[in-house]
Structure 1
Amino acid sequence: MAAWPYNTSKWAKLRNTKLSARPLCEICERRGLVEEAVAVDHFVPVRQGGSPFPSLDGLLSLCERCHNEKSAAFDRQGGKQFRRRFKGFDADGNPIDPFDVWHAARPRGASKDGR
């Protein structure tokens, strides 16, 4: 049986709402792929202090592969807090990981201070 909060009707409704709003895997879309989302994942895992019932923008619709990739690398006990949750880059060379703060978008040729 799933643990709290995943065994609640509130989570079931939130999950269904997110999958209805974003039925495709959000990470695969960044990779240029089309995969059906089967999991809803917290941006900040509940066991790491995240809200169990965040707003929809605090959740990701993911396919099984992407969900397992993130869970294995980041969400598990002892997961690496500063590693990328998702590997790879989009067609423009930007990291597909929506959490990547090391490669914040700035115009090509601009210095780190934005000039």
Structure 2
Amino acid sequence: MADWPYNTRIWKRLRLAKLASDPGCYACELRGRFVPAVAVDHVKAIKAGGEPFPPLDGLMSLCERCHNEKTNAVDRPDRASTGRRFKGFDVNGNPIDPGDAWHGGGA
């Protein structure tokens, strides 16, 4: 977490505020499970034009597993990936990734 903006006081406060408001992992909750979040991730990556310090709804609270999966699938174009932000399905059998074609492909 050494790269800007993650080493700033502003980010550290924003991260704590997000974890306080959404203490569970976003993706795991979509799967019907509560897993405590330990990471805060940008909904729209800074490299893709996202704001470094967005409002709280521009951030996601994630567990370590989901954060690593999302980072490897979306934020690392140098690696072969599916481009799918989150793997798995909700309790109704629908894909949880908001970018899935089932949801209209937008997220």
TM-score range, shorter chain: 0.7 to 0.9
Which ranges of structure 2 fall in alignment gaps of 5 or more residues? Answer: none
Separation of aligned partners in 1, 2:44 and 2:81:
11
Separation of aligned partners in 1, 2:18 and 2:56:
6
What amino acid is the match of 1:72? Answer: N
More helix by share: 2
TM-score by length of 1: 0.81
Q: Tell me which stretches of 4 or more aligned residues in structure 1 moved more than 4 Å.
A: 79-82
Separation of aligned partners in 1, 2:35 and 2:58:
20
Aligned 8 A contact 2:39 2:61 in 1: yes
Corresponding residue number in structure 1 for 2:47 = 47
* RMSD, aligned α-carbons: 2.0
Which ranges of structure 1 fall in alignment gaps of 5 or more residues? Answer: 106-115
**Other structure's SS at 2:54 match:** coil
What amino acid is the match of 1:58? Answer: G
The more displaced of 51-60 and 74-83 is 74-83
TM-score by length of 2: 0.86
Aligned 8 A contact 1:74 1:80 in 2: no
**Other structure's SS at 2:102 match:** coil
Corresponding residue number in structure 2 for 1:8 = 8
Corresponding residue number in structure 2 for 1:72 = 72
Separation of aligned partners in 2, 1:36 and 1:81:
26
Overall identity of the aligned pairs, in %: 58
- Deviation digits for residues 35-81 of structure 1 (CA, Å, limit 9, x no counterpart): 11000000111122211011111110000000000011111243679
The 3 A distance-change label for structure 1 pair 42 and 80 is farther
Aligned 8 A contact 2:73 2:82 in 1: no
Separation of aligned partners in 2, 1:19 and 1:98:
21
